[in-house]
Amino acid sequence: MSGDPTKAARELLAFYIEAGVDVCLGDAPADHVASGGEEGALEPPKPAPRASPVVHPPSPPSRTPPVAPDAAVMAARQAAKNAANLAELHRILEGFEGCVLKQTAKKLVFADGNPQARVMFVGEAPGREEDLEGRPFVGRSGQLLDRMMAAIGLDRSSAYIANIIPWRPPGNRTPTPQEAAICLPFILRQIELSHADILVCLGGPSAQALLGAKEGILKTRGRWFPCLAGSREIRAIATLHPAYLLRQPLQKRLAWRDLLMLRKAIDSAPS
């Protein structure tokens, strides 16, 4: 190489250009031999690590913010009061957002049977079959209720059927006291707007909510209670829930006694 440093620098620069070197990797020279590389080898720059793509979880479905329980009860009372008839009460319940059970239920289970009937049966809450069909008492317990009514000359054309809770609790769990309190104004208004003059509470929860019963259903059943339905008072009796009778068939004898009392009350009451 020539002793002229300028000429030598030009020749080295020309060699770099021919070799494809077009960028400076550092301000100071690096001794690649001392760092373990092969003599005269240039270590290529390491590629920058690729950033992992950011995966955002899917946004949860929008839900109506929960309403405070006390506010929900007050809203339910006002909404139920505004219903002038059963059809309007049905529409109000379909639009009511104060009960969280509505968010998990498939359908509103309002009522079945004849709203003009003199006898009204009220259970606690719908189950899976009722939730799918939108009618109360259509599963196994409903089939038993049909047979119980038929034994005293009733059917769904001569009785009105509903539940305290119009939406199925998830997994058929027991409704919470707050859920029952929110739904109570609606079933009370439903009883008031019906033409029933005899109420049959199916099971302990129904008797406790509608009749204020403090004892268990085995002590409450077979007794008459007054039930205030708005501006009128009707007679009410509690009996064993069909679902309980499916689990305890020996107790059907007690339910039969209650049904005979119901039949006697229907026959003795003025039409």
- Which is more confidently placed, 25 or 270? 270
Q: Once rounded to an integer, what is the mean pLDDT over residues 51-80?
A: 71
Q: Once rounded to an integer, what is the mean pLDDT over residues 85-97?
A: 97
Inside any domain, residue 228: yes
Sign of the alpha-carbon torsion through 140, 145, 147, 148: positive
- Which is more confidently placed, 127 or 20? 127
Q: Where are the beta strands (DSSP E) in the chain?
A: 112-113, 119-123, 160-163, 198-202, 224-229, 232-239
Q: Once rounded to an integer, what is the mean pLDDT over residues 47-62?
A: 55
According to DSSP, the residues that pair with 225 across neighbouring strands are 236
Inside any domain, residue 39: no
Predicted local confidence at residue 94, as pLDDT: 97
Instruction: Name the 3-class secondary structure at 158.
Output: coil
- Assign 3-class secondary structure to 42-93: CCCCCCCCCCCCCCCCCCCCCCCCCCCHHHHHHHHHHHHHCCCCHHHHHHHH
**pTM listed for this prediction:** 0.75
Predicted local confidence at residue 243, as pLDDT: 97
pLDDT at 28 over 90: no
Q: What's the angle, vertex CA 262, arms to CA 204 and CA 165, rounded to 5?
A: 35
CA distance 228 to 236: 10
Q: Once rounded to an integer, what is the mean pLDDT over residues 147-169?
A: 98
pLDDT at 47 over 70: no
CA distance 245 to 262: 18
CATH number at residue 161: 3.40.470.10
Q: Once rounded to an integer, what is the mean pLDDT over residues 55-77?
A: 71
Inside any domain, residue 13: no
Q: Where are the alpha helices (DSSP H) in 82-165?
A: 86-95, 101-104, 128-133, 140-151
Inside any domain, residue 199: yes
Helical (H) or strand (E) element with 16? helix 5-19
Cα distances (Å, whole numbers) of residue 1 to 12, 31, 79, 188: 10, 22, 101, 108
Predicted local confidence at residue 23, as pLDDT: 57
According to DSSP, the residues that pair with 123 across neighbouring strands are 163
Predicted local confidence at residue 40, as pLDDT: 43
Instruction: Name the 3-class secondary structure at 172.
Output: helix
Inside any domain, residue 134: yes
Smallest Cα–Cα separation from 179: which of 270, 257, 116, 105?
105
pLDDT digit string (tens) for 160-217? Answer: 999 999 999 999 999 999 999 999 999 999 999 999 999 999 999 999 999 999 999 9
Inside any domain, residue 261: yes
| Total domains in the fold of the chain | 1
Inside any domain, residue 8: no
Write out the two tokens for 18: 């021919």
Q: What is the separation, in whole angstroms, between the first and last Cα of the chain?
A: 128
- Is residue 244 within 8 A of residue 207, CB to CB? The reply is no
- Range in 34-38, 90-94, 123-127, 204-208 with the lowest mean pLDDT: 34-38
CA distance 217 to 266: 22
Predicted local confidence at residue 1, as pLDDT: 47
Q: Once rounded to an integer, what is the mean pLDDT over residues 37-53?
A: 52
Query: By residue range, what is the domain housing residue 106?
Result: 69-268
Inside any domain, residue 234: yes
pLDDT digit string (tens) for 223-244? Answer: 999 999 888 899 999 999 999 9
pLDDT digit string (tens) for 101-144? Answer: 999 999 999 999 999 999 999 999 999 999 999 999 999 999 99
Q: How far is CA 177 from the centre of its chain?
A: 15
